[in-house]
A and B are shown apart, each in its own frame.
Chain A
């Protein structure tokens, strides 16, 4: 399917938030309104969290240290993903298909005290 397909042009609005120091990599801003395609243009499949992570690295990150967010094409260890305030492991992790209005929170785990 080419990009002329109407479905791949549709975007869905979501909120992406960063916490625990990760906001530093995204223009020092905690909360971002983001529009993502409903269909991932590369794989032609419904846009999921895995696609979102790549999308954020390609479009939203403002810091050179991308390795503080992704390692080997996956989220780096030590970052929790919360989909509408639930651990992403309860929702299918990278496979979770993004819905309009979703709030996705990336939190780096803290160890200090």
Chain B
């Protein structure tokens, strides 16, 4: 099936595993890979294994770009890339396999353009759509190793489940804001349901349940340092290269006794990386935590898993990954209509001079606020607000104590003047209203507390298109 890759001729070894003939490297290959081939532990055999391997990178973003660059440069034979998005300007500070001149292009095509220039020898296969329960098995089955470079929990569980069923090693990384995590799973792959001896864990063994949606943060909300996610992507490539060069990606079964011993991979380490912008002592911290092996009761790979997880089931929508990650349940409306005002209604009332004296509190973090807000707004970041509210509640609600949470500007308006909240997209502002009422700041209804619906996003859409919204 891969006869055209390199000059290797596939033969079937006595143990049933496909091996490639030991061939002479082409002059191009020899020249290009010489510096990595002379590293102790690599050599010609390891390079041929790389050349004859097929890697799938799922996600062509902050992790996928650096991962793909190093995997391609190292000389794997086939590199598949899955992503349905197009390149946007806001991607480029971290997604360094794309380019300003390729904004608007499909990410897979943009990245492959870059990779072909870097190393024309591998075969590049674009998969220009998002991975789903319907297409995941078909795509993953064509590769030897999978790299999870995606950006959400539901997809991470799906990819891991398919990798268990198809016996593919999975190099998984994630990164948000100033932190990153990396772990090698299912490597060497073992048949689903086996528990007779230690086997490597899958994603579900290590992370049995996803966090509630309220606790999941995305790079779009929390931000992301390019170097942090870049470091994780490069480390991911390093693990993938190591696995392929060492032949660890082959399923370990009793019919494949030649599979190398890999006790250490049955209890892999989770790499944790934190980067501290404020620390002058150490700019970064790496640490590694020892994880457990395959769990007897794991839904995907444990003792009874063949009855709970199958390829047919996944294709038919079972399990439902969105539901498992609680994505359908999230409600975005907490407050009744009379406690809310639209951005445009607020603006019109203000222009007409119909707005009563009030205080407007912007609950975005100060980094967001630094790019501008509605005229007259004062900044009280949501996390600070919650911390203050918590202290007040813990101290007991003595008379006057709750007022301490109000910004100093509140003293400039009458004490029953309405309080309005605005946030980024309209959820924190509603919680802020509820929090203030809990503290009794609405004085039993005498003081109105409201929120601006849809936050500064709505303000930009309805009122001020020039507003710099992040």
Report which A residues bind B (CB closer than 8 A).
Answer: 19-21, 24, 27, 30, 61-65, 67-68, 71, 76-80, 82, 85-87, 89-90, 105, 107-113
- Which among B237-245, B310-318, B383-391 touches the partner chain? B383-391
Q: A85-B289, A90-B292, A113-B150 given as contacts; is B177 within 8 A of A21 (CB)? A: yes
CB-CB under 8 A for A76 and B179, given A65-B386, A87-B290:
no
Chain B, range 202-247, C-beta contacts under 8 Å to A: 206-212, 214-219, 222, 224, 229, 232
CA A12 to CA B62, docked complex, whole Å: 43
Contact check, B389 vs A64: say whether CB atoms are below 8 A apart: yes
Interface membership of B25, Cβ < 8 A: no
How far is it, in angstroms, between the C-alpha of A49 and the C-alpha of B435 when the chains are bound? Answer: 31
Interface residues of B in 72-117 (CB under 8 A from A): none
Task: Apart from A61-B390, A64-B435, A113-B61, list 10 A-B contacts with CB within 8 A.
Answer: A30-B276, A62-B391, A63-B390, A80-B206, A87-B291, A107-B289, A110-B175, A112-B218, A113-B59, A113-B151
Neighbouring B residues of A87 by C-beta, 8 Å:
206, 270, 289-292
Instruction: Compute how far the CA of A20 lies from the CA of B285 in the bound complex, rounded to whole angstroms.
Output: 12
- Given known contacts A63-B390, A65-B386, A82-B289, is B211 in contact with A109 (CB within 8 Å)? yes
Interface residues in B52-71 (C-beta closer than 8 Å to A) = 59, 61-64
CB of B292 within 8 A of CB of A89, answer yes
A-side interface mostly: loop
Q: Tell me, rounded to whole Å, the shortest Cβ–Cβ distance linking B134 to chain A.
A: 21
Is B249 at the interface (CB under 8 A from chain A)? no
> Does B377 reach chain A (CB closer than 8 Å)?
no
Give the complex CA separation of A63 and B388 in angstroms.
8
- Interface flag for B455 (CB, 8 Å): no
A78 touches B211 (CB 8 A): yes
17 pairs, A vs B, C-beta closer than 8 Å: A19-B274, A20-B272, A21-B177, A64-B389, A65-B386, A71-B212, A77-B208, A78-B210, A87-B206, A87-B290, A87-B291, A90-B290, A105-B287, A111-B176, A113-B59, A113-B151, A113-B229
* A62 and B387 within 8 A (CB): yes
* Chain B, residue nearest A105 (CB): B289
Contact of B289 with A112 in the complex, beta carbons under 8 Å = no
Residues of B contacting A63 in the complex (Cβ-Cβ under 8 angstroms): 383, 386-387, 390
Residues of B close to A112: CB separation below 8 A: 151-152, 174-176, 217-219, 222, 224, 229
Residues of A within 8 A of B174 (CB): 109-113
The CA of A68 and the CA of B64, in the complex, are separated in Å by 29
B59 adjacent to A76 (CB under 8 Å): no
Which of A62, A68, A107, A113 sits near B173, CB closer than 8 Å?
A: A113
- Cα A61 to Cα B386 in complex, Å, equals 11
Q: Which residues of A contact B274 (CB under 8 A)?
A: 19-20, 30
CB-CB < 8 A to B151: which residues of A? 111-113
Contact with A along B177-197 (1 / 0, CB 8 A): 101110000000000000000
Identity of the chain A residue whose Cβ is nearest the Cβ of B326 in the assembled complex:
A77
Q: CA A109 – CA B383 in complex, angstroms?
A: 20
Instruction: Check B210–A77 contact: CB distance below 8 A.
Output: yes
B175 touches A113 (CB 8 A): yes
Report which of B217, B276, B435 forms a contact with A21, defined as CB distance below 8 A.
B217
Contact with A along B355-389 (1 / 0, CB 8 A): 00000000000000000000000000001001101
Chain A residue numbers with a CB within 8 Å of B215 are 68, 76, 78, 108
Residues on B with C-beta less than 8 A from A27 are 387
Known: A86-B289, A113-B59. A21 touches B272 (CB 8 A): no
Q: Is the CB of A107 within 8 A of B272?
A: yes
**A21: shortest Cβ distance to chain B, in Å?**
6
Q: For the complex, is B156 an interface residue (Cβ under 8 Å from A)? A: yes
When chains A and B are docked, how far (Å) is the Cα of A62 from the Cα of B392? 11
Bound Cα distance A79, B207 (Å): 9
Docked complex Cα distance between A112 and B94 (Å):
13
A20 touches B387 (CB 8 A): no
Indicate whether B341 reaches chain A with its CB closer than 8 angstroms: no
